[in-house]
């Protein structure tokens, strides 16, 4: 099965092509540029380099979030449009599960963290033996509160992955101690190849998402919406 993987959830956007379990190509860029500027050029480039087209792809896997609101909308909308246009099956994979799947080799317990800024994260604790198994519910809030929940449940060593692990590593080591581990730098950020690999397994199992109905996983309101609601409450 040939799968196209797309991730635009964080600053590290990427696209990947998968043929069976082999990664044919991956384009990853961690710079301050919007995904609207680089996603389509990256897709065109990787397809041309591999000599692939929409006709030769068997499925599309996309990171659905949580993460950057704008980035998620761009990635999910693009994946939906391609799936609908090419008539290919589509599967959404959360960023948190994709991260746990990606670093499952490092530890049985994996905490996926996406930086939500201002000392907050999107997170989830997984137990990994092949397909990640959720141990906690999705979290959106202060990093310290979530780490207390992780420590109460998981057994060391605990691998922390995602840009939230990078941003709050000092806090993690303060609360978790020597039991906190993190993967090498090329694995700590989500890669589209991991989304494609996990998506492939689900597609082979017969899972599908409706291209017209698939929506990003936000977990909370955008900052602008939260400020607007707070302003309205003050005016009452």
Taking 60 as the threshold, does the pLDDT of residue 228 lie above it?
no
The answer to whether the CB of 137 falls within 8 A of the CB of 149 is: no
Amino acid 231: pLDDT:
45
Q: What is the mean pLDDT of residues 138-145?
A: 97
Amino acid 233: pLDDT:
42
Amino acid 36: pLDDT:
73
- Domains detected in the chain: 2-94+190-228 (3.30.420.40), 96-188 (3.30.420.40)
More confident position, 207 or 33: 207
Show contacts of 43-48: CB within 8 Å, 24+ apart. Answer: 43/4, 43/6, 43/15, 43/78, 46/15, 46/16, 46/17, 47/17
The string of pLDDT tens digits covering residues 19-36 is 999 999 999 987 656 777
Amino acid 32: pLDDT:
59
Total number of residues shown for the chain: 236
Model confidence band, residue 157 (pLDDT cutoffs 50, 70, 90): very high
Taking 80 as the threshold, does the pLDDT of residue 37 lie above it?
no
Catalogue the E-assigned strands of the chain.
2-7, 12-19, 22-30, 59-63, 90-93, 109-117, 120-129, 131-134, 139-142, 158-161, 180-181
Q: What is the mean pLDDT of residues 164-183?
A: 96
Taking 80 as the threshold, does the pLDDT of residue 13 lie above it?
yes
Instruction: Give the separation between CA 43 and CA 170, rounded to whole angstroms.
Output: 36
Beta bridge partners of 17: 4, 25
The answer to whether the CB of 158 falls within 8 A of the CB of 152 is: no
Amino acid 236: pLDDT:
54
Q: What percent of the chain has pLDDT over 70?
A: 92
Taking 60 as the threshold, does the pLDDT of residue 90 lie above it?
yes
The string of pLDDT tens digits covering residues 62-79 is 999 999 899 999 999 999
Amino acid 35: pLDDT:
72
Q: What is the mean pLDDT of residues 95-109?
A: 95
SS3 23: strand
Average pLDDT, the chain: 91
The string of pLDDT tens digits covering residues 115-127 is 999 999 999 999 9
Q: What is the mean pLDDT of residues 148-176?
A: 97
What's the whole-model pTM score?
Answer: 0.90
Taking 90 as the threshold, does the pLDDT of residue 221 lie above it?
no
Amino acid 223: pLDDT:
46
Q: What is the mean pLDDT of residues 45-63?
A: 97
């Amino acid at each position: 099965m040939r799968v196209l993987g797309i991730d635009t959830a964080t600053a590290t956007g990427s696209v990947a092509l998968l043929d069976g379990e082999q990664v044919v190509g991956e384009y990853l860029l961690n710079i301050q540029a919007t995904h609207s500027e680089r996603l389509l050029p990256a897709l065109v480039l990787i397809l041309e380099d591999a000599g692939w087209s929409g006709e030769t792809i068997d499925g599309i896997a996309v990171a659905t979030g949580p993460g950057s609101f704008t980035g998620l909308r761009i990635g999910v909308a693009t994946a939906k449009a391609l799936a609908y246009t090419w008539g290919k099956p589509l599967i959404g994979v959360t960023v948190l599960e994709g991260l746990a799947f990606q670093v499952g080799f490092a530890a049985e317990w994996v905490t996926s963290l996406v930086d939500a800024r201002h000392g907050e994260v999107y997170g989830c604790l997984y137990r990994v033996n092949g397909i990640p198994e959720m141990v906690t519910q999705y979290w959106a809030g202060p990093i310290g509160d979530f780490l207390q929940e992780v420590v109460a449940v998981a057994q060391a060593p605990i691998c922390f992955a995602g840009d939230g692990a990078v941003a709050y590593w000092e806090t993690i080591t303060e609360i978790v101690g020597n039991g906190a581990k993190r993967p090498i730098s090329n694995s700590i950020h989500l890669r589209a190849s991991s989304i494609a690999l996990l998506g492939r397994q689900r597609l082979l199992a017969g899972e599908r998402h409706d291209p017209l109905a698939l929506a990003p996983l936000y977990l909370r309101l955008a900052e602008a919406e939260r400020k607007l609601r707070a302003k309205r409450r003050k005016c009452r």
